[in-house]
Structure 1
Amino acid sequence: MKLAGYVAAVMLLAGAAVADPLEGTWQTAKDDNGHFGHVQVAPCGAQLCGKLVRAFDGNGKQIDSANVGRNIISETVASGNGQYKGKVYSPDRDKTYASKLALNGDRLKVSGCVLGICRDGGTWARVK
């Protein structure tokens, strides 16, 4: 009986250690100002969140941004087949959108709506 309990515990811990495919660092599409950023996605409780960790101008030069450290992705959960639902904050418009994220390998298609107004957030690329 002890062996069966040990095996069950090991299997449970091994399953918990598996990272969600969305986890990691993503380069956003350029915003209305031509700026882009790197967003680090990690678990936050039972959901996924993504903090802006670096900001860049249109030429790729790192810039200071008041949004570094802010959650760009929040309240995000997998809905199956590489699809996610949650919220995405858009710094260039200072709005939070109900988001749909579609993961396909190292590409992440981002879109969202707020008050019936929808926006294509472009395709983000995984930073390696």
Structure 2
Amino acid sequence: MKWILPVSVILCFGSTPVTAQEIFGNWSRGDGNARVAIDQCGSNICATNTWIKPGTPKEKTGDKLVMTISLTADGQYSGTAFDPQRDLTYKISVDVKGNSMTTKGCVLAGLLCKGVQWQRIE
């Protein structure tokens, strides 16, 4: 079974405490195929695709990932993410360090995970 972690999100953490505001902003995926805007959406945080490289399968501009995450005591974000386009829920973690972010998402009770690197963009 092949699955794609959509919209951009699979999160991890670091040991340096971060503030919740650091996750917000515009990010470019490490492979250069996607850009997302992360912002508050109601009581959750949403990552919305703002640009997808032409020819990238199964993703499109406007796709959204709705994250229910919180900042942990060690400065990491942890929680779940729902992808309404694929009707999938992921366990997710996010590690923000300055202008770099690592996301990690898992499905199937943590048996299938994928990590993605991101760079903050203006």
TM-score (norm 2): 0.64
Is the alpha carbon distance of 1:82 and 1:105 closer, same or farther for their aligned partners in structure 2, counting shifts above 3 Å? farther
Larger gyration radius, structure 1 or structure 2: 1
- Partners of 1:42 and 1:29 in 2: CA distance: 20
Q: Which has the higher helix share?
A: 1
TM-score (norm 1): 0.62
> 2:112 aligned with 1:118, yes or no?
yes
Per-residue CA distance 1:81-121 (angstroms, 9 max, x = gap): 441123275x8x98542111111111111112101323232
CA RMSD of aligned residues (A): 3.2
* Corresponding residue SS for 2:22: coil
Tell me which of the two structures has the higher relative contact order, counting C-alpha pairs closer than 8 angstroms and 6 or more residues apart.
2
Report how many residues are paired: 101
- Partners of 1:81 and 1:23 in 2: CA distance: 19
Instruction: Provide the residue aligned with 2:90 in structure 1.
Output: 97
Calculate percent identity across the aligned residue pairs.
25
Is the alpha carbon distance of 1:95 and 1:36 closer, same or farther for their aligned partners in structure 2, counting shifts above 3 Å? farther
What are structure 2's unaligned runs of at least 5 residues?
Answer: 1-19
Instruction: Provide the residue aligned with 2:53 in structure 1.
Output: 56
